[in-house]
Structure 1
Amino acid sequence: MKSSIVCKFGGSSVSCAEQITKVKDIVSQNKERQYVVVSAPGKDSSHAEKLTDHLINIATDGKHFRLQHKDISAQKSYNEVVGKFKKLIADLSIEGKDVIEKLGKDLKKPVPEEKKTDFLASRGERYNAEIISRYFNKQGILAELVLPEDMGLLVSEDFSNANVIPVSYRNIREKLTSVEGVSVIPGFYGITAKGDVAVFSRGGSDFTGGEIAFAIEAALYENWTDTDGIYQVDPRHIAEAKVIPRLTYKEIRLLSSKGFDVFHYDAMVNCKKRNIPIHIRNTNNLASEGTIIVSERVPEEVVVGIARKDNIAYLYVERDGAGETIGFVHDLLSVIKDYGIETCHYPTDRDDVAILLNQDDMVGTAEDIKEIIEKDFKPDTLEFNYNITILSPVGIGMKNHPGVIAEAATALKEQNINIEIINQGPAQISFHFGFQNFYADSALQALYERLIK
């Protein structure tokens, strides 16, 4: 199956009949596109909330939207979900009365509370895949709906954050090699050994696509979305930024961990093991060549992209010998982990440690954390600093190009931007500057013009 292509279409690509028609055209243009993974329908002009959020709202009896201060009952969400699929079926002119009946039964199916959210959240992908497979067949594309339970996609019982069990790869390969025509597969979920539905983290349809590509040893994994690819910087901040034509897995890993959110990184892990290229394309702009992610490339530039992460806080701890004390940083991180707070970096010196944290995770916890650290670590200085932006230039061309950090620092100095944090990755293909949020736009512009433009 070395010539086969796995295609994953995100929510915006399958949000309505017009978009699904584009998907059909893309699949029909290349006979190697034999494996199609689909998301739940995304938002369109007539729906303010995502369909998956409506499904979670049904599972939580309206609590999901109440927590967002939205007056949307579980019954209203039920009507929205059923209405959305009825409209898709009607607009695509396919037979689907039985699909709506099965959907209705699933939405009202008694499921144990701890498993209910996963089961219902997965129904968007489940029924969108069935509708799309029927539409393909109606349009003359031989297609078969292949559900995770049909192909033995077995996962752990970590509900809402499931992991694939290795035997799944053999199961998937055996099933998919027996399918005639195009396999249409719902993303986002698998089945536990007990037969329960368990979903991956949000964005998990990317992950499903990557696992399918790995299992069948695909020649290429195409990820179709609503952007032209991965940009040098977020075009919402710098409109002139261009699409990066080629990236390595290492580069996209560094960019995605620092604020790039086009692609679910976990989807790349197994593709990287088998050197399966990942091609990010725009469903709405076939003229764009997109971004290809590969194992190796010859860099033509020093810095390929700059990631931006806003609303970071850092915890500063000073104590004689802190950075040299075995286990000090580990124990400090354990305190933070117990509160479920995401950490970004933790640069150390002989006597001090700075741990960068997701500020949004810290609401209501900072004083408790300070109290524990003061009691257990007895620091000389302990303080939180808030409203930090981290900018992270990335590029494999940096490794043998001295002076990049100096160039970047000079560009910021010329704009009178005060740098609070400087840190370089050990691979020498990325570095990080931190400063107050109010410098973020001017700092990004300065680094873009000096390092990329």
Structure 2
Amino acid sequence: MRRKIVCKFGGSSVENAIQIKKVKEIIKDNKNRKYIVVSAPGRDEKYNEKITDHLINIALKGQHLSKKRISTNDSKEAVIKKFSTLCNDLDISKEKIIPFLENDFKTTLKEKKKIAFLASRGEHYNAKIIAEYFNKSGINTQLVLPEDIGFILNDDYLDAKIIDKTYTNLEKLKTEDKICIMPGFYGVTQNGDVAILSRGGSDLTGGELAYSINASLYENWSDIDGVYEVDPRIIKDADVIPRLTFKEIRLLSTKGFNVFHFDAMINCKKRNIPINIRNTNRPSASGTIILNERVHTEDVVGIAKLDNMAYIYLEKDGLGEEIGFMEGLLSIFNKYQINTYFYPTDKDDIAVLLKKEDLTGNINNLRAEIEEKLSPDVIDVVYDLAILSMVGIGLKYNSYAIADAVTVLKDNNIDIEMLDQAPAKLSFHIGIAQHHADTALKLLYNKLILND
């Protein structure tokens, strides 16, 4: 049976004619790459804003980019110029794209429906251009639009979820012998209205397509070589991690590695479909493969860093045994739409980790409500915290890595504000003062990954 590979190309991979030609060569290089999902074409040249943000700005009549003094007309001009340039450089007739795009700008849709519709136009027209270009280049290509194939979402228009019927509809693509190009990020409701996934949703489109056709591999192409051991902007010698489990990438992604849309992995994991993160600009590099299982040769495979964090510390006799205390505490955070990360706890105290920015304008009301409803003996807020998260399946079999981490920080006079290990023992987390964050990351990288 022929292997079926789904490829998703991100915005930087399809932002201009040069990049799209690279995509064409990547597809030609492997005959099993039959299913292609594309994003909107990156950023414009004048304002260096993403095309999707320009489209949202048009929908919101200039409010979305008002702080950058980019008007509705500015955004319209930027979007039209981007697509006109693509058409010219790829020798595609602009008459097939620009008049329809300009007409879309005049949509009479209102509110969320309007935002979703216009936000989706980047992917929609980019897919049309790329499909046309492939066919002109002699690659037998079929454009598959979500509205035609039945990529059906619920009616939560700006953060929509896929409904089960979509998987049955996508299965129809299994027998297609052509290259199939589909725009990512959007689908349609059962009433036929356009709805969009969360930002980064083209990853999810690719993942759900891979699941539906039971692909042998899902390749996610962008402008990075893969998942690095640590942030390469801080440690330039950091290597790409060749293999990770779904659990490891999940832990790294939630702790500062913004590499991949997590929801895109869920169904691939269910069907044991590997995900390969690749670089469009270096297609010879093998990237990072994400698998259900791997054989580990190290304890810590990667270290993530969350900056500008804070925690709220509560102390009350017996809070760890008080039925409903945790539920009540988290309900307060939910009321203020504050996302919490994790909460080290004991019998008499708890610390809830969150982003510092989420406390802006909320802290006084939050504190008052916690005091009123939960009556803690002590409530304190610690700001300017960085969280370093060590991740690796090898940690399950070696707890001494925690001791090594604590020792190297102690030897370099870096105080630990918080220490926590997840129950599965696949990660542990150290909170330190923000101004020590980069230094601590380098120390922990040298000790736990390089074993220096």
Q: TM-score range by the shorter chain?
A: over 0.9
Q: Could you tell me how far apart the structure 1 residues matched to 2:86 and 2:116 are?
A: 23
Q: How does 1:31-430 map to 2 (within 5 A)?
A: 31-43=31-43, 45-66=45-66, 69-174=67-172, 176-430=173-427
Q: Could you tell me how far apart the structure 2 residues matched to 1:54 and 1:113 are?
A: 16
Structure 1 contact 2–217 (Cα < 8 Å) conserved: no
Q: Could you tell me how far apart the structure 1 residues matched to 2:128 and 2:176 are?
A: 15
Q: Could you tell me how far apart the structure 1 residues matched to 2:445 and 2:298 are?
A: 13
Deviation at 1:44, TM superposition (A): 5.7
Structure 2, unpaired ranges of 5+: none
**Alignment partner of 2:247: what SS?**
helix
**Alignment partner of 1:399: what SS?**
helix
Q: Could you tell me how far apart the structure 2 residues matched to 1:216 and 1:416 are?
A: 54
Structure 2 contact 55–119 (Cα < 8 Å) conserved: yes
2:16 match: 16
2:428 to 427, 431, 442: 431
Deviation at 1:358, TM superposition (A): 1.4
**Alignment partner of 2:155: what SS?**
coil
Write the letter of the residue equivalent to 2:419: I
Structure 2 contact 11–41 (Cα < 8 Å) conserved: yes
Q: Could you tell me how far apart the structure 1 residues matched to 2:353 and 2:32 are?
A: 45
Q: Could you tell me how far apart the structure 2 residues matched to 1:279 and 1:129 are?
A: 22
Alignment deviations for residues 126-148 of structure 1 (CA, whole Å, 9 cap, x no partner): 00000000000010111111011
Q: Could you tell me how far apart the structure 2 residues matched to 1:2 and 1:195 are?
A: 34
Q: Could you tell me how far apart the structure 2 residues matched to 1:347 and 1:254 are?
A: 17
Deviation at 1:249, TM superposition (A): 0.3
Structure 2 contact 276–290 (Cα < 8 Å) conserved: yes
Deviation at 1:98, TM superposition (A): 2.2
Q: Could you tell me how far apart the structure 1 residues matched to 2:249 and 2:13 are?
A: 22
Deviation at 1:96, TM superposition (A): 3.1
Q: Could you tell me how far apart the structure 1 residues matched to 2:205 and 2:14 are?
A: 16
Structure 1 contact 220–277 (Cα < 8 Å) conserved: yes
Deviation at 1:45, TM superposition (A): 4.9
Structure 1, unpaired ranges of 5+: none
Deviation at 1:177, TM superposition (A): 2.9
* RMSD between aligned residues: 1.1
Structure 1 contact 211–270 (Cα < 8 Å) conserved: yes
1:5 match: 5
Write the letter of the residue equivalent to 1:9: F
**Alignment partner of 1:341: what SS?**
coil
**Alignment partner of 1:372: what SS?**
helix
Structure 2 contact 328–374 (Cα < 8 Å) conserved: no
Write the letter of the residue equivalent to 2:75: S
Q: Could you tell me how far apart the structure 2 residues matched to 1:110 and 1:180 are?
A: 39
Q: Could you tell me how far apart the structure 2 residues matched to 1:310 and 1:153 are?
A: 37
**Alignment partner of 2:446: what SS?**
helix
**Alignment partner of 1:22: what SS?**
helix
- Cα distance change of structure 1 residues 156 and 2 upon mapping to structure 2, 3 Å threshold: farther
Alignment deviations for residues 64-83 of structure 1 (CA, whole Å, 9 cap, x no partner): 011xx111111111111111
Structure 1 contact 306–393 (Cα < 8 Å) conserved: yes
**Alignment partner of 1:342: what SS?**
coil
Structure 1 contact 3–32 (Cα < 8 Å) conserved: yes
Alignment deviations for residues 46-66 of structure 1 (CA, whole Å, 9 cap, x no partner): 551110010000000000011
**Alignment partner of 2:221: what SS?**
strand
Structure 1 contact 143–180 (Cα < 8 Å) conserved: no
Aligned pairs, how many?
Answer: 450
Deviation at 1:287, TM superposition (A): 2.5
Structure 2 contact 386–432 (Cα < 8 Å) conserved: yes
Q: Could you tell me how far apart the structure 2 residues matched to 1:301 and 1:43 are?
A: 39
Structure 2 contact 107–114 (Cα < 8 Å) conserved: no
2:443 to 442, 446, 449: 446
Moved over 6 A (4+): none
Q: Could you tell me how far apart the structure 2 residues matched to 1:313 and 1:230 are?
A: 26
**Alignment partner of 1:211: what SS?**
helix
Write the letter of the residue equivalent to 1:17: A
Q: Could you tell me how far apart the structure 1 residues matched to 2:2 and 2:227 are?
A: 26
TM-score (norm 2): 0.98
Structure 2 contact 7–36 (Cα < 8 Å) conserved: yes
TM-score (norm 1): 0.98
Structure 1 contact 96–131 (Cα < 8 Å) conserved: no
